[in-house]
Amino acid sequence: MLTVNISFMDAFLKYLREREYSGATMAKYAHDVRALLQYAPEGIRDKEHLNGFRAYLEAKGYSGASVNSMLGAVNRFLAFLGSSWRLRYVRVQRRVYLPADRELSQPEYERLVRAAVNRGDQRLALIVQTLCALGLRVSELKAVTVESLAAGEASIRNKGKLRTILIPDALCKKLRAWCHERGIVSGSVFVTRSGKPIDRSNVWKMLKRLAEAAKVLKKKVFPHNFRHLFARTHYKKFKDIVRLADILGHSSIDTTRIYTMRSGKEERRQLSQLRLIL
């Protein structure tokens, strides 16, 4: 019998926080562990009972990829508890192309930037360009500081790892001009009215309004999609997935491969070039 309850989850989240997991990741883990608590409110009787959790998620209509994502979080929780039990993942064929309703194209990205400028929201235009030009997670925006602009590089700490990225000269110039105009002399470039670094929820809300103004499908416009656009553009230009993984801060190249998937349109074009239809 393995006891699992809400107090254990609180301790688990504290454990993740101490290891500098992002707020978004912690929220996802909390959601996934709560699903386990709902499935087994009185604890897990044995390994067979634990394995039933996978079928429980599938019965609720989660896709294979979503089930695996949740199982990964639960396995991390089980390891935290000191249990040797682990859930086996659903075998899902890797998708080889990006769904059209999720792919943010270069022209759409440019429309978003122009729409922000046309609305007089220079800060948002710069946030979008910074996320996309540097391939940042939105939680890493705070690492773009006045000091980093002077150095031409930013040190980013995320998930217990430290990486250094270069900031292109053109972006440095734009951001220095913004800081000079706003009287920002030190610390994070993008701050709220109270002077605190802007966070994920602020950016998310602004982007949804911007999507409507730019006439870009809202499903495509979220902070992490600019990181994906950076990855696809970088890989298409340089074909160096190892270097790209280092820039993005990925521990595994398998993760980076997901970021470099071609669009469905490009995949169809390449299949047509095989000329196997008579």
For the domain that residue 128 is a member of, what is the CATH number?
1.10.443.10
Q: CA-to-CA distance for 206 and 116, rounded, in angstroms? A: 10
pLDDT at residue 264 above 80? no
Least confident of 68-77, 225-234, 251-260: 251-260
At residue 26's C-alpha, the angle toward residues 63 and 1, to 5°, is: 75
CA-CA distance, 244 to 168, in Å (whole number)? 16
* Whether residue 123 sits in one domain with residue 194: yes
Residue 114 amino acid letter:
R
CATH number at residue 15: 1.10.150.130
d(CA 153, CA 156): 10
Cα–chain center distance at 38: 27
Residues 248/165, Cβ–Cβ less than 8 Å: no
Percent share of the chain, pLDDT over 90:
68
pLDDT for 96 equals 65
Same domain flag for 219 and 110: yes
pLDDT at 142 over 90: yes
Distance CA 110, CA 137 (A): 19
For the chain, counts of helices (H) and of strands (E): 13, 4
Reported as a single tens digit per residue, the pLDDT across 34-83 is 999 999 998 899 989 999 999 999 999 998 889 999 999 999 999 999 99
Is 105 strand, coil or helix?
Answer: coil
Could you give the number of structural domains in the chain? Answer: 2
13 in a domain, yes or no? yes
Q: What's the mean pLDDT in 117-145?
A: 96
Any domain includes 90: no
Q: How far apart are CA 247 and CA 254, in angstroms?
A: 15
Look at residue 154 and tell me whether its pLDDT is greater than 90: yes
Query: In the structure, what pLDDT confidence band is assigned to residue 93 with cuts at 50, 70 and 90?
Result: low
Confidence of residue 122 (pLDDT cuts 50, 70, 90): very high
| pLDDT of residue 97 exceeding 80 | no
pLDDT, position 59 = 93
pTM here is 0.76
Same domain as 118, residue 73? no
Task: Average the pLDDT over 220-233 and give the result.
Answer: 95
Domain boundaries, position 74: 6-81
pLDDT category, 177, cuts 50, 70, 90? very high
Q: From the CB of residue 40, how many other CB atoms can be counted at a distance below 10 Å?
A: 17
Tell which of 81, 114, 141 closes a domain: 81
Q: 57 with 136, same domain?
A: no
113 and 206 both lie in a single domain: yes
Q: Give the pLDDT band (50/70/90) at residue 278.
A: confident
Q: Does 232 fall in a domain?
A: no
- 22 pLDDT band, cuts 50/70/90, is confident
Is residue 277 situated within a structural domain? no
Residue 16 pLDDT exceeds 80 = yes
- Of the candidate ranges 62-66, 93-97, 203-207, the one whose mean pLDDT is the lowest: 93-97
Instruction: Say if CB 117 and CB 214 are below 8 A apart.
Output: no
What's residue 262's pLDDT? 78
In this predicted model, which residue has the larger pLDDT, 276 or 137? 137
| 185 and 134 part of one domain | yes
- Asked if 135 and 231 touch (Cβ cutoff 8 Å), the reply is yes
User: What mean pLDDT is predicted for residues 145-174?
Assistant: 94
Averaged pLDDT of the chain: 91
Do 121 and 154 share a domain, yes or no? yes
Confidence at residue 29, expressed as pLDDT on a 0 to 100 scale: 94
